[in-house]
Amino acid sequence: MTLNEINWGIIGCGNVTELKSGPAFNKVEHSKLVAVMRRNPEKAADYASRHGVPKWYSDASQLINDPEVNAIYVATPPDAHAFYAIEAMKAGKPVYVEKPMARNYQECQEMIRVSEETGVPLFVAYYRRTLPSFLKVKDLVDNEIIGKPLTVNVRLHKAYGEKDQFPEKQSWHTNPEIAGAGHFYDLASHQFDFLDFVFGPIIKVNGIAKNIAGYYDAEDTVSSVFTFDSGVTGTGSWCFVVSKGSEEDIIEITGTKGKLSFSSFQHGDVKLTSPEGMVNFSFQNPENIQHHLIRQVVNELHGEGKCASTGYSAARTSWVLEKIVADYYKKLATIAT
């Protein structure tokens, strides 16, 4: 599918679209944002007014079937990703969907099936595949600056917030019916997708997920071991109920000649440690952090190049996440019945 001009419609113009993504659609050649949708008409109109978008809707189907709109960005919570993406692809309109791709791997598979059946492209917003610091990590690994890669270790420990402690204030991020799981799906999905980008698919994974603090039904503490098809092995630890002084955000890749260390969410710096010493690389991200990935999506739709983040790669990440928390949710379902 090739489009001369890509006219975007956004379904779900919430916080993620304010700075991270929305403005970038008007900054890329052959691309413009022509319509937005939000169920609350006042908020939809307000977003359109503030961002100079010509049209707004409170009904997603009306936006999808707008003849001027020929590509759709689904930026709703995950429970609606598959539904709207499938509706858009059946209408013949390429889809760029927020991460995680869907609530579960089964929904991802159905999205891919419809994409293949209709011939309509499907992309997912795993933008680290295009950010300069993460591209530097991949370059250093690919060129064996740290030698042959051996292991990767992921640690993400975040303090609990006020919203987590009080049910009436909790966001959809800790509601498994909407998010698929808890904060783990929202944040670890970025990490596993990037590692897939560097090392290829994970072929074996085991995990332990627990709810220790008891603030919500979703898991709050997770550990995992995994193996990539390339032979690299990995371990990970995620906890979302630590104290402020115990927070940590680091990925370490160790090879036969050195080590790389970098943050997943405070991205910008990459530290290379080798027998020769330590080197620190610093990078500046674009104002709209999804800008480079959106440009890749637009370029592919325009017939120029390929996008690094597709439904196929994103579904692999969802498979990994689901494998890690599967036992926890089986047990939770048993208790509920």
| pLDDT of amino acid 317 | 98
260-269 tens-digit pLDDT = 999 999 877 9
DSSP string, 164-181: HH-GGG--GGG-HHHHSS
Compute the distance between CA of residue 337 and CA of residue 192 in angstroms, rounded to an integer: 32
| pLDDT of amino acid 303 | 96
Domains of the chain: 6-126+289-306 (3.40.50.720), 132-284+319-336 (3.30.360.10)
| pLDDT of amino acid 37 | 98
211 three-state secondary structure: coil
| pLDDT of amino acid 286 | 96
Residues of the chain with pLDDT under 50: none
Report whether 57 contacts 34 (CB < 8 A): no
* Straight-line distance from the first to the last Cα atom of the chain, in angstroms, rounded to the nearest whole number: 47
| pLDDT of amino acid 325 | 98
Compute the distance between CA of residue 234 and CA of residue 320 in angstroms, rounded to an integer: 12
Peptide bond into 77 cis (omega under 30): no
Confidence (pTM): 0.96
- For the beta carbon of residue 259, count every other beta carbon within 10 angstroms: 18
| pLDDT of amino acid 337 | 62
| pLDDT of amino acid 168 | 73
Compute the distance between CA of residue 198 and CA of residue 15 in angstroms, rounded to an integer: 29
Joined tokens for residue 10: 């956004």
Q: Which of 176, 145, 193, 191 is nearest to 326 (CA)?
A: 176
| pLDDT of amino acid 336 | 66
Cite the DSSP H helix spans in the chain. Answer: 15-18, 41-51, 60-64, 81-90, 105-118, 132-142, 162-165, 176-179, 183-199, 291-301, 311-336
